[in-house]
Structure formats: structure tokens, C-alpha cells
Amino acid sequence: MKDSSKSSTLGRRDFLKRLGIGTTLSALPRFARAGGASAVATKRPSNVIFILADDIGYGDLGCYGATKVKTPNLDRLAAGGVRFTDAHSPSSMCTPTRVAVLTGEYAWRGACPRGVLNGDAALIIKPGSTTVPSLLKKAGYATGAVGKWHLGFGEKEKGPDYNGELKPGPLEVGFDYFFGYPATNDRVPCVYVENHRVVNLDPKDPISFSTKMPEGKRIELAGHPRIGTMTGGKAALWKDEDMAAVFSGKAISFIEAHRDQPFFLYYCPRNIHVPITPNPRFRGTSQCGIRGDDIHELDWAVGELLKAVDRLDLAGNTLVIFTSDNGGTLQFVTDEENAGHKLNGDLRGNKGGLYEGGHREPFIARWPERIKSGQVSKQMICLIDLLATCAALTGTDLPAEAGPDSLNVLPALLDPLLAKPVRKDLVMHSGAGALAIREGDWKLIPKQDGGGKAQKTKQQATGRRPAGDELYNLADDLGEQNNVYAQHPEIVKHLTELLEKYRSAGRSRGT
């Protein structure tokens, strides 16, 4: 399949130079053991590949109980490392999760308190702040992002200029290289961006777009429904059915270019967000409709990446993590098409809500030199912990003001049977901006205010808004069916105060 990025037209020397191959290895840090207490020298620091899928639910993979879809590559990844059963996204929606992953700060603190960004949004990460890529870049890593961005481009006063230079963006928050798309695949503009420019844009056919939907209805663009309208940029439009292969190819190219130095790859596939558009060769391959077919394409893409890591003899010293930005949803998929597939397993709720189905995620970590194969961990962790964990992994000091909600969970990765909790509590965030709190097995969902009666009723029906105050003990009620709020006033009081403490303190790490 033809690769549509500009970098494919570059000479090899120029391409390697653009990706930063010139970084020297002499100043690379020493690798830290779990807990960061001591360090041992290795051939070089370990590579990190963080794969953040879109809308994959807790029950969408074979290794998490799915029977109507086949995920052999992800199942092998789990068999070769550790599979977590209590891992969570910091939000049940994509933008707030993604900004929290990169910054180590809950998005509800200000970066994205509710909803998601459109393609006309400015960058919501402050350039120069400590992020996962900026921290690893300072530690000598080459850093690349491929796939979904959804964190904005340009300055707040001006926003993005898709006909000019898209700056600031990923490169200004720590990435050496970026190839991806601006928002969601159902939002305009439907173009690829490489570093600071739209790929294949004809200056004689400039892009013009609006994020508003005429009469509140999605419009057809390039054969699929979108949020907003777009004219111009015809030569730059992506083809939805080819996106998985394009991103897989770009991710592999980045790894190949940096095989001789430590690298961090933030790989964010399109799959399986709507419009669900698997390549025709995957259509009809699952037992639960087009959504299942798209999971098959995602599994293929991950498999291609793993093949490249093996081919380049990098597997042993590469930490590969696979997870998702929020729980699954049946948006635009009928119950008949889904054919009884439990996309979120036996969990209650779905994407956008505070129940477990909205934010409890599949989380797989493989690292042959450090993680024993075939492990299962019950430790509670959160994707927001990536920053502090990478700091520990590289023996890098995390500034006190950075990652205020990120915890080092490296000990849980290396020892799945570790008895001591690496994370005692967690604040959960819904797409509507509501919060809940978990400590140990107890989970408090306070009654939410705001919204009209019709909106409340709809959100309650979909599991996005609780009807009243709710308290659950997840140890014996993972499906959140038995509300014990009235029976435990002391626990309610404690969790209410803990949530308020974290809100007012501006941080949860170290408080």
C-alpha cells in the first residue's frame, strides 16, 4: 500500500536526520531498578512503546474473555508478559485521557475539564512543561508520536493554521517526530499532519472547515459521516480504510530509524473509533459485525509492529504496553450486529461514564528481559502513571511540580505478585466532567448536578450519569449492582473528604 507521507520522498540521510538519529549515546542515563532505589548499567536504556487504542473495551480481547473476536497478536503479547485486571484510564473520554497520559496531571484540573476537542482547538499542553516525551528526550531518547493526536495545534489566541505551519504542536511538547491526524477520525479536518504541516496539501486548494454540523446532523466527507464541514484540501484527504496500514508503516519506520538508540514511541491507532472503517480484507472476519472486524485490524497492526521489533532484535530490551483511552461503546452499531459480544465484559456502563465499563481498560505489558511471561496482576494502576514510571525506569528525577497525579508503578510491572499497592486511590472522570473516587475496594460516585431533565434521563440510561449518590465495594460487586451508600456513612464521609482534598490541593502525588 502506498505510503502518503512526505517523509517517503526524502533521501535516507535526510530522513534519519529529521528523526534525530544524531543523538549521542555517551550521556545516556543508567537504568533504574523497581522503586528507583538502585541502578545497574545495561547496554543501553530500554525502549518504550506505548500503544493507546481508541474505544477498546475491557472485554474486547481474547485474553480478556472475548469469544466472538480473535486477537492472536495481543493474546501473544499478554502471554509474553503481564496482563492487568484493574487498570484504568484517567477519564472515560479520549482528549482528557490523552492529555493526562502525557502530562501526569488529571485533565479535570484545567486542561480539559469536560468533553473533547475539535479540530479547531489550540494546543492544550504548555510548551516547555514536563511531559513523557520531554522527560525521555532529556534522558537521551528519540521520541515519536504516530496516529491520533487530539490535543490541539497552535496558540490559544489564534488556533491552528492548516494551510500553514501547525505550531506549537507535538514537537513543542517533547516529540522529535509526529505523523498523525488532528482530532477524531469523525471530525474535520480529515487530513494527515507530519510535524508542522498537512501532508500533500495543494496550496492552490486551501483547507476551509467548520466544526459546526448543519442542522445538527453529521455530513458525508470522503464517504463517511463527520462532525463539521470541510472544503478544499482534496489531495490531502485521508482514506479511512487505509489509515491502519499507514500508521503501522510510520510506526515501524520510526523504530527502524532508531534501532541503534533508545526510543519512545507513542502509537495511537485509529481503531476502533467511529466511523468504523476496517480495510475490506478484514470485513466479515469476526462473529460480531464491523466493530469486531475493526478489532481484527487493530490486532493485525499491533502484530506488524511486534514483528518489526523482533526482526530488529529489539524485543528483549523493549517495554511494550498496550491499552485503551476509554471503555467501549456501541455508537452506530446495532445490538444485532454486535451479536451478544460483551465489549466491556461484565462491567457496568460504557464510554463516557463513571461506572467501570467507562474506564477500566485492558492493559498488557511485555518486557522479556524484565517481566516474566504469562503473569496476571490485580494491582490498581492508571494510565496517568506513565510519566512517573518512565522517570523511575530511566533513573530520572521527576520535578516536584511535574506529574502531580502520576505515580511510579514500575514495581507492579516487574513483580505482578507484589503485595504492597502501588496506587491506593484514584479519581475517575466522565465525559460530562463529573468525578468519582476509588480507594482500595471502595468506590464513591457522588450525585451529579447540572443538565436538563431529558439530558439527565438519557445519561442515566446509558450509565453516564448516576441517579443519586452511589457507593460500591468492588471486591464483591465488580458489576456495581449493589449500592451500599446508606449502609456506610463513615466510608462516604472519608471518600468525600479525600476527593475534596485532592481537588483543592491541586495534586494527589505526595499529599
Summarised one tens digit per residue, pLDDT across range 279-310 is 999 999 999 999 999 999 999 999 999 999 99
Q: What is the mean pLDDT of the chain?
A: 90
Is omega for the bond preceding 96 within 30 degrees of 0, making it cis? no
Q: What is the pLDDT of residue 449?
A: 59
Contact yes or no for 142/20 (Cβ under 8 A)? yes
Nearest to 498 by CA among 425, 445, 448, 449: 425
Q: Which of 88, 112, 150, 390 is catalytic?
A: 150
428-505: CATH class: alpha beta
Query: CB of 469 within 8 A of CB of 437?
Result: no
- Is residue 362 within 8 A of residue 323, CB to CB? The reply is yes
Decide which of 35 and 210 is more confident.
Answer: 210
Query: Average pLDDT in the 264-269 region?
Result: 98
Query: Helices 289-311 and 243-257, interaxial angle, to 10°?
Result: 20
3-state secondary structure of 133: helix
- Per annotation, catalytic residue among 94, 190, 288, 390: 94
Residue 205 CB neighbour total at 10 angstroms: 14
Residue 126 — φ and ψ, nearest 5°?
Answer: -70, 120
Longest CA–CA span in the chain (Å) reads 69
pLDDT at 6 over 50: no
Average pLDDT over residues 9-27: 33
Please report which confidence band the pLDDT of residue 30 belongs to, taking 50, 70 and 90 as the band edges.
very low
Q: What confidence tens digit (pLDDT) does each residue in 135-187 have?
A: 999 999 999 999 999 999 999 988 999 999 999 999 999 999 999 999 999 99
d(CA 40, CA 46): 12
So where are the chain's domains? 44-420, 428-505
Helix 289-311 and helix 72-79: axis angle, to 10°?
Answer: 50
**Catalytic residue flag (residue 94):** yes
Residue 270 grid cell: 485509529
Kindly report whether the peptide bond that precedes residue 272 is cis, defined as omega within 30 degrees of 0.
yes
Across 93-99, average pLDDT: 98
pLDDT of residue 216: 83
Cell numbers standing for residue 40: 545497574
pLDDT given at position 43: 63
Give the DSSP letter of residue 379.
E
Confidence at residue 32, expressed as pLDDT on a 0 to 100 scale: 34
Catalytic residue flag (residue 150):
yes
In tens, the pLDDT along 450-493 reads 443 444 445 544 445 556 899 999 999 999 999 999 999 999 99
Report how far residue 11's alpha carbon sits from residue 19's, in angstroms, rounded to the nearest whole number.
Answer: 12
Q: Which of the two residues, 34 and 399, has the higher pLDDT score?
A: 399
* Percentage of the chain modeled with pLDDT above 90: 85
Asked if 357 and 344 touch (Cβ cutoff 8 Å), the reply is: yes
Out of 32-36, 181-185, 358-362, least confident range: 32-36
Among 104-113, 317-326, 452-461, the least confident range: 452-461
Rounded CA-CA distance 146/134 in Å is 16
What is the CATH topology of the domain spanning 44-420?
Alkaline Phosphatase, subunit A (3.40.720)
What is the secondary structure of 221-242 as a DSSP string?
A: ETTEEEBSEEES-GGGB--GGG
